[in-house]
Structures are given as C-alpha cells and as structure tokens.
C-alpha cells in the first residue's frame, strides 16, 4: 500500500503573532482585574482618594519625579481629609518602608535605612551620646571658628555682589559636621571662597537627587542612567562612592592612631571614635563597613538639610524688614560685640530668635516629605492579636505603607492660622496662649517624630541659632531681582530646594 504524506506548512510569523496577541490579552486581563480589585475589593478601597491613585503607583510616581510630592499630597488632604489613599497599597513603632533603601550609603545600611526597629535601636546606641546637648556644647569652639570664617568671607565681599546661599551654607555645614563627627578639618568653606570645588560638598548635594531617582526607577534603568557619558551626571551617580572613599580614609586613619596609642583620654570625643570603640555585643565590634555607612549617613543628613533651611531663613529676612528689625534689636543687646558669639545656652533663651527659628522650621523644614512606615504582620491590642491596624477608623492590613507628612502637619490652618504666612510672633509666649503653644509644638515635626526622630536634631538646632544670630547681627540681607517667589518656589526630592537650584542673596555689613 502506498502511503502519501501531506504537509501543512505553518508560518512562524503566524505563531509569533498569535503568541504576542495572547500575551497582550493576558496582560490586559491581569491589568483590568488588578485595577478592579484595587478599586472595589481591596481592604483599602474604603479609604478616600482619587480613583487613579488606587489603581496604580504610576500617578504618584509622576509627582515624585516632578519634585511635587509634598504639595500634591497636601492638596489631597485638603480635599479628602486626614486619611488619603495615594497608591494601591499606601494610604507605633512600625518598621520603615523599603523606600529608604534608595538612601543606602556605601551600598550598605545606616541608621536611617535600617528598616526594622530593633536593628535601628542597636545602631542608634552607638552615636546617640554624641548628640546630647552637653556633649555638643564641647564642640562650640569649632562651630564658632567656622561661623567667624563665614562672617569674614561675607565682610570681604562687602555686599558688592550676591552669593549663592545653597552653596555657601552647604560648605559651611560640611566643615562643621566633619569637624564634630570626624575630628578633622576639611576646609570646604575656605576652598569654596577661593573658587575651588570641594568634592565632598558636591557629593553631599548630589546624594538626595541620586536617591530619589533610584527609588523611582527599576534597577536596570538606574544602571543605564549611570552609564550616560556626561561627567556631571556621572559625578552625581558616583556621589556615594566619593563620600565612601573619604570616610573610609578617616576610619583607617583614626584606627591607626588608636592602635598606636596616639589618642589619649579626652572629654571631647568625635563620633567616629565612639563608633570605632562601639560594640554591637560583647563578642561583636561594629564592623568597618557599618561605621563608614553610618558616618556617611550623618554627613548627608546634617549638611545639605541645614544649609537649605538656612537659605530660606535668610531669604525671608531679605523680604521682611519688620522681622529683621525685631531680630537685630534683640541680638544687639545679647551680642554687644558682634564678633563674640554667645554660648548656645544664652542663644536658647532669646525669645525672638527662637520664635524665628521655630517658624522657619515650620515652613522650611528641610525634609517635610512623607515618612513611610509599613503596617506589621500583626498588632497586639488589649491582649488580642489583630491582623489589621486601626487608623482613624480604617482597617489597614499588614504590609500597607502609611506615612505622615510634615509639610501638611505644619500647614494645618486649625493649628497655625494663616499657615502660609511667616509669622514668628505666633511662637511668643503671651497671657492665655500656653495651651495653643503646646498644641503647635505637638504639630511641629521638622525632624520627624517618635523613636525614629532625627538623631542629629540637637546639632541642627544649635547651628541654626549660632548662624542666624551671628549673620543677622553683622549683616543686613538683600535679595537681588533674580531671587524671587518664582525662583524660590519649593521643590522636594525628600529634602527641599528652590526651583532655580540656587538662592542668591546680598549680605551688606551693618554699620557697627
């Protein structure tokens, strides 16, 4: 019998086309199903907010990349109330969310990026003694030296032209942070005055931008970004490495001095030395990679933040002669010799100076962004184990990312009447306002709140008072035409900065 085989040719392109079509269909079905679940079936579906935010993180991510997250969230609070859903899974010792991993230093954790509470406590014990007020007071000579160097630089310019305060105060704070934490004189301010770039100050300024981009794009996109053949762009991508090399050198240098017995007993101990002698347990010393990451984290957190706030503080003084007059009148009495900086204990007793600093931190706190936390797998209440956390009547399942935003807390009109107005007088004590002052203090969270509050807030508070008092005592501040509401519009990438990326001001020496 003769068998004949008949061939039925199948086009490869037809198969490929149909596979692609099936994949696309499955993707669409998944997307629609996921959106339906997020909108109507999710445990968070009852939380108010725009429907498109509930469907995907894409909407809020676009506002993050446009540097408008704080303002966008605040508009949602004004429209929907105190609890708002801004993403499919976003709406108290909760662990931090994974967002903070974008702020790793030296590709390693430090206190700020340690997500779990227990791990953070272990790290915090190593550096916390450095930031107590009595210890920081020992580093006032270094703070005064650099502040007087700042005054001398401004006197040399003599009000003849404007200076970019973002850069000026960043280099100033880099010197102070490194002097107090490393016991090392960097000379960043003197380099900047001489027109020489300080790589450390530049790296610190670049790091927050690096972090926000890393948090908003996939890893493979970040890797491609860092291959862009542009020197300035590569410098931003390498900011972590630049700081790591500097701190690593200081770690090995100080360890060598300790081992050689060259560092004797001293009442004034830099934070680096504390960490070199700190032990996680009797059996385990703090390893070098953790020390390097921790020191980097404190340089970043302490330098660019304080300098940005200071820039806005002095911009306010440039356009509010009424405030400058009151502040200078108080400082003239407290500082009869304008070059003799009082002890911080005295500055903390000056009513108007402290009211000015509080109001400045209310409107211009350097990091007013959402502080994300994750609802734990279970919470205990009255001895019972609950799978959901009750947030103002809304049941949040484990894994939900929650956040409190300082920007909105500081602009609550029920607590701060005329919230957009810079008004130091609201903080002054008057008969019958003690209760309201207490309430305002509860809503003021420029350094965060709770167990994860900024460890360096005491140093920041000290330097804000020293620098504002000394500069305002010695200079009048004038804004040139290019520094205005538009150029100083606040943008945020975790920390705030002006839209123009600069804050040019003129410091005119006062007639003494």
Tell me: pLDDT of 353 over 90.
yes
Radius of gyration (C-alpha) of the chain in whole angstroms: 27
User: Across residues 169-194, what is the average pLDDT?
Assistant: 93
Q: Token match 């105060």: residue?
A: 169
Res 4: pLDDT? 45
Tell me: pLDDT of 94 over 50.
no
**Each residue's pLDDT tens digit, 29-56:** 656 666 666 665 566 766 877 766 676 7
Which helix (H) or strand (E) covers residue 385, if one does? Answer: strand 384-386
Tell me: pLDDT of 97 over 60.
no
User: Across residues 461-470, what is the average pLDDT?
Assistant: 97
Distance from C-alpha of 129 to C-alpha of 455, rounded to nearest angstrom: 10
User: Across residues 504-509, what is the average pLDDT?
Assistant: 97
In 70-216, DSSP assigns E strands to: 95-96, 163-164
The partner residues of 381 in beta bridges, in order of sequence, read 384
Res 107: pLDDT? 59
Structure tokens at 216: 């908003």
CATH class of the domain at 57-509 = mainly alpha
Tell me: pLDDT of 404 over 90.
no
How far is residue 26 from each of residues 36, 64, 418, measured CA to CA in Å?
15, 30, 53
pTM assigned to the model: 0.80
Structure tokens at 330: 């108080």
Res 8: pLDDT? 47
121 — pLDDT class (breaks 50, 70, 90): confident
User: Helices in 228-350 by DSSP H: which ranges?
Assistant: 231-237, 239-259, 271-276, 288-319, 321-334, 344-347
Distance from C-alpha of 482 to C-alpha of 225, rounded to nearest angstrom: 32
CB 170 within 8 A of CB 205: yes
How far is residue 378 from each of residues 41, 56, 451, measured CA to CA in Å?
21, 26, 19
Which helix (H) or strand (E) covers residue 497, if one does? Answer: strand 495-498
The CB-based long-range contact list for 130-135 (8 Å cut-off, 24+ gap) reads: 130/180, 130/181, 130/269, 130/270, 130/271, 130/274, 131/455, 131/456, 131/457, 131/458, 131/459, 132/458, 133/344, 133/458, 133/462
Distance from C-alpha of 273 to C-alpha of 182, rounded to nearest angstrom: 8
User: Across residues 473-480, what is the average pLDDT?
Assistant: 97
What's the mean pLDDT when you consider all of the chain?
83
> What is the sign, positive or negative, of the torsion defined by CA atoms of 408, 205, 487, 360?
positive
The partner residues of 395 in beta bridges, in order of sequence, read 390
CB 275 within 8 A of CB 294: yes
**Each residue's pLDDT tens digit, 412-437:** 999 999 999 999 999 999 999 999 99
Structure tokens at 481: 């035409």
Res 266: pLDDT? 78
117 — pLDDT class (breaks 50, 70, 90): low
Structure tokens at 281: 């347990």
Distance from C-alpha of 315 to C-alpha of 98, rounded to nearest angstrom: 35
66 — pLDDT class (breaks 50, 70, 90): low
> What is the sign, positive or negative, of the torsion defined by CA atoms of 292, 295, 300, 301?
positive
């Amino acid at each position: 019998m003769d068998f004949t085989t008949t061939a039925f040719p199948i086009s490869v392109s037809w198969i490929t086309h149909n596979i692609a079509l099936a994949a696309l269909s499955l993707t669409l079905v998944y997307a629609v199903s996921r959106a339906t679940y997020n909108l109507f079936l999710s445990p968070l579906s009852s939380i108010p907010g725009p429907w498109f935010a509930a469907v995907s993180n894409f909407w809020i991510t676009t506002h993050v990349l446009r540097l408008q997250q704080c303002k966008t969230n605040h508009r949602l609070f004004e429209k929907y109330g105190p609890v708002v859903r801004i993403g499919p899974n976003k709406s108290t010792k909760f662990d931090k969310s994974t967002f903070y991993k974008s702020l790793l230093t030296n590709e390693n954790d430090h206190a700020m990026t340690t997500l779990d509470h227990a791990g953070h406590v272990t790290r915090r014990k190593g550096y916390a003694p450095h930031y107590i007020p009595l210890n920081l007071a020992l580093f006032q000579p270094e703070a005064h030296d650099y502040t007087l160097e700042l005054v001398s630089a401004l006197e040399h310019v003599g009000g003849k032209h404007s200076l970019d305060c973002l850069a000026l105060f960043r280099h100033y704070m880099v010197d102070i942070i490194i002097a107090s934490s490393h016991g090392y004189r960097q000379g960043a301010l003197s380099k900047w005055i001489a027109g020489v770039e300080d790589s450390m100050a530049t790296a610190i300024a670049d790091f927050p931008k690096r972090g926000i981009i890393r948090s908003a794009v996939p890893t493979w996109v970040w890797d491609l970004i860092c291959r862009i053949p542009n020197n300035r762009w590569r410098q931003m991508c390498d900011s972590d490495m630049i700081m790591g090399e500097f701190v690593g050198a200081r770690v090995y240098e100080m360890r060598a001095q300790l081992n050689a017995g060259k560092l004797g007993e001293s009442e004034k101990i830099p934070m680096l030395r504390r960490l070199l002698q700190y032990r996680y347990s009797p059996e385990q010393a703090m390893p070098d990679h953790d020390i390097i990451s921790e020191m980097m984290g404190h340089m970043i957190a302490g330098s660019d933040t304080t300098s940005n706030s200071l820039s806005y503080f002095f911009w306010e003084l440039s356009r509010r002669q009424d405030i400058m007059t009151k502040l200078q009148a108080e400082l003239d009495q407290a500082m009869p010799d304008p070059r003799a900086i009082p002890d911080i204990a005295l500055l903390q007793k000056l009513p108007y100076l402290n009211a000015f600093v509080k109001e400045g931190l209310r409107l211009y706190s350097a990091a007013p962004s959402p502080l994300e936390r994750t609802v734990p797998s279970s919470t205990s209440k009255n001895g019972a184990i609950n799978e959901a956390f009750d947030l103002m009547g809304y049941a949040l399942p484990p894994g939900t990312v929650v956040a409190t935003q300082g920007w909105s807390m500081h602009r609550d009109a029920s607590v701060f009447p005329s919230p957009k107005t810079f008004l130091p007088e609201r903080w002054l004590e008057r008969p019958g306002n003690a209760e309201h002052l207490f309430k305002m203090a509860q809503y003021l969270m420029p350094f965060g709140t709770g167990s994860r509050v900024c460890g360096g807030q005491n140093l920041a508070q000290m330097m804000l008072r020293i620098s504002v008092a000394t500069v305002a005592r010695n200079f009048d501040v004038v804004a040139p035409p290019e520094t205005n509401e538009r150029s100083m519009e606040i943008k945020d990438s975790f920390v705030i900065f002006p839209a123009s990326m600069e804050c040019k001001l003129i410091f005119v020496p006062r007639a003494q």
